[in-house]
Amino acid sequence: MGATVVSPTFLSAYLVVVVCLVCSLKEGYALGRKTTVEKSHTTTIHVSSLLPSSICSSATKALDKKSSLQVVHKHGPCSQLHQDKANIPTHAQILLQDEARVKSIRSKLAKNLGRSTNLDQTDAANIPANDGSVVGTGNYVVTVGLGTPKKDLTLIFDTGSDITWTQCLPCARSCYKQQDQIFDPSLSSTYSNISCTSPTCSSLTSATGNTPGCSSTACVYGIQYGDSSFSVGIFAKEKLTLTPTDVFDDFLFGCGQNNQGLFGRAAGLIGLGRDKLSLTSQTAVKYKKFFSYCLPSSSSSTGFLSFGYGGVSKSVNFTTLSTISQSSSFYGINIIGISVGGQKLPISASVFTAGGAIIDSGTVITRLPPTAYSALRSEFRKLMSQYPMAQPLSILDTCYDFTNFSSVNVPDISFTFSGSIEVPIDVTGVLYVNSISQVCLAFAGNGDDTDVGIFGNTQQKTLQVVYDGAGGKLGFATGGCT
C-alpha cells in the first residue's frame, strides 16, 4: 500500500537544511598540472591544461589501505554514473545551486541558535526550476553495499548532513532515475523497519530538522535540502558493507519512497555530519568518528574516503574543531588568516570570528566575510593585472580571459587556521574554469561579516582532509591525491 507518503509540503514547512547536492563541476575542466613553482609565490600553469579531459586516470595509491572507498566526481570519466550530457548543469546553474545550499546552511544555523528563520518562499523562488527531469549536480560519490545479499549503491557523501538514505522500491510516490538498480527491501533478509514509537524514530528530529511521521507502525523520515531536493520514506535498519572487512549490522538509514532533486544518477546520500544518526556516529565504536578524504583535482582523476586512523599522512597539521551553534551537525573551524602571493592579507582577526566558519564537502565555493573577500580579491587582481578580465560568472566576480596565453602565473593562496596551521590551496582550488575565456577566482563573499564562512570543496581539492570527531580536531595534508 502507498501508505508511506508524507507530502513534500510537510517538509517545506520546515527548513531543513543543508546538504549537498549542489556541488561541483560540470564535466571535465581539469585544471592543469603545474609546471613550475616560482620563488615569486605564483604557480605557472599551461592554459591548455585547463581544457576538459575525457580519460580517467585513476590514482589508487590511497586505496591500498583497508576501510577505503574510491571517490569520484559524479560526472567525470571515472564515474559509473553515465549522465546524459544534456542533463549536466551549466556552471552558472551549479553556482546558483551552491548559493541555495549556502542559504540553507545559514538557515539551519539560525534555527539552532533559536532565531526564527526567514528562508522561505522567497529563497525557494530563486532556485532554478527543477522539473523532476534530474538536473544532476556534480557531487563526489562513493560506492557501498546495502542489504543481504548485498546490492551496490553509488551515493553522494556529505559532511554537511547526517542521515544516510537511498531510493527504495516500491517508490510509493516518486523516484528519480538512478544508475544502480533501486534497492528493494523485500529482497533483503536483513532489512527491518523502525517502529514509529521507538526513541530511535524520535532522534530523527535533530538529524533532519523534521518531526518524524508514522505509516502504519513504521517510522517515516523526511529531509529537505537547500536546493529544494528532498527524500521522504521509511526509516529502517539494514546491513551496510563499506568494504569487505568493514560491515555494519543494523545501520539506520532512510528507505526513500518519495525522492526528488539534484542527485544526478546517484542512488542517494551518505551523511557524515556530527549528529548521532550520521554514519560517522553510527560507526563510532569501530572508527572513533575518524575519517579522511581527498577530493580529486578534476573529474578525470580519483580520490578516496577512508574510515579510521589507517593511512593518515604523517605530515597532517591539525586545527581545533569547534561547534558552530548548539546541536549543530556542522564541523566548525576557525580561519585566522589568508595569504595571497606569499603576503598575509591585512585582515583583523575579528572579521573571521564575527560569523565563525565551517568546513563542508558539499559547498562548492568557499564563502568569506565580505571584508576578507574584498582584501583577497584586490590583492589577487593586483597580481593578475597583466591578464584581461572577463565577465563575472554568477557569484564569481573576478574572471579572466586566457585566450591569448599559452601559460599563466597564478598567485598562490593559503589559509591559516587556529593553531597557526597554514594550508596551501592547490591551484585547481584557486581557479574555477568555465572556459578558457572565462577563468574565475574561486571564492565569494558573504552578504555580511556576521554570516557563517564556509571552506568549500573546490578549495579542498588534492588535500587529505582528516576529521577526528572524537579528538575534536580537523587536519590537512598536501598531496593527498591528484
Q: Which residue has the cell 537547500?
A: 226
The nearer residue to ligand NAG, 221 or 225, going by C-beta atoms, is: 221
In Å, the largest CA–CA distance within the chain is 68
**Cα separation of 149 and 297, whole Å?**
35
The nearer residue to ligand NAG, 313 or 371, going by C-beta atoms, is: 313
Which strands sit side by side in the sheet containing 335-340, from one edge to the other? 343-344, 335-340, 413-417, 421-425
Q: How many residues bind ligand NAG (CB under 6 A)?
A: 21
Residue 162 known to be catalytic: no
Binding of ligand NAG by 216 (CB under 6 A): yes
Binding of ligand NAG by 436 (CB under 6 A): no
Which residues have a Cβ under 8 Å from the Cβ of 307 and sit 6 or more positions away?
A: 67, 68, 242, 246, 283, 286, 287, 290, 291
Binding of ligand NAG by 422 (CB under 6 A): yes
Binding of ligand NAG by 157 (CB under 6 A): no
**Cα separation of 150 and 375, whole Å?**
52
Select from 26-34, 68-76, 139-147, 188-196 the region that touches ligand NAG (CB under 6 A). Answer: 188-196
Which residues have a Cβ under 8 Å from the Cβ of 193 and sit 6 or more positions away?
A: 217, 218, 219, 234, 235, 236
Per the DSSP assignment, residues forming a β-bridge with 393 are: 396
List the catalytic residue out of 162, 360, 449, 468. 360
Binding of ligand NAG by 421 (CB under 6 A): yes
Task: Give the shortest CB-83-to-ligand NAG separation in angstroms.
Answer: 31
Which residues have a Cβ under 8 Å from the Cβ of 227 and sit 6 or more positions away?
A: 21, 22, 97, 100, 101, 104, 127, 130, 261, 262
Which residues have a Cβ under 8 Å from the Cβ of 187 and sit 6 or more positions away?
A: 147
Select from 30-38, 132-140, 187-195, 442-450 the region that touches ligand NAG (CB under 6 A). Answer: 187-195
Task: Give the shortest CB-429-to-ligand NAG separation in angstroms.
Answer: 13
- Cβ atoms of 67 and 127 within 8 Å: the answer is no
Residue 460, SS3 per DSSP:
helix
Binding of ligand NAG by 464 (CB under 6 A): no
Binding of ligand NAG by 404 (CB under 6 A): yes
Select from 28-36, 72-80, 159-167, 416-424 the region that touches ligand NAG (CB under 6 A). Answer: 416-424
Q: Which long-range contacts (CB under 8 A, 24 or more apart) does 119-123 make?
A: 119/15, 120/15
Binding of ligand NAG by 60 (CB under 6 A): no
Considering only residues 44, 58, 87, 317, which one is a binding residue for ligand NAG as defined by CB under 6 A? 317
Task: Give the shortest CB-252-to-ligand NAG separation in angstroms.
Answer: 14
User: DSSP secondary structure string, 242-275?
Assistant: EETTEEEEEEEEEEEEEEESS-TT--EEEE-SSS
Binding of ligand NAG by 391 (CB under 6 A): no
DSSP 8-state assignment for residue 396: B
**Cα separation of 355 and 352, whole Å?**
7
Binding of ligand NAG by 193 (CB under 6 A): yes
The nearer residue to ligand NAG, 75 or 151, going by C-beta atoms, is: 151
Residue 152 known to be catalytic: no
The nearer residue to ligand NAG, 135 or 218, going by C-beta atoms, is: 218
Binding of ligand NAG by 476 (CB under 6 A): yes
Positions in 282-311 near ligand NAG (CB under 6 A): none
Binding of ligand NAG by 206 (CB under 6 A): no
Task: Give the shortest CB-466-to-ligand NAG separation in angstroms.
Answer: 11
Binding of ligand NAG by 263 (CB under 6 A): no
* Residue 383 grid coordinates: 597580481
Task: Give the shortest CB-219-to-ligand NAG separation in angstroms.
Answer: 9
Binding of ligand NAG by 215 (CB under 6 A): yes
In this chain, which residue has its C-beta nearest to ligand NAG?
218
Tell me which residues touch ligand NAG (CB under 6 A).
Answer: 3-4, 191-193, 215-216, 218, 234, 315, 317, 388, 401, 403-404, 421-423, 476-478
Active site residues: 158, 360
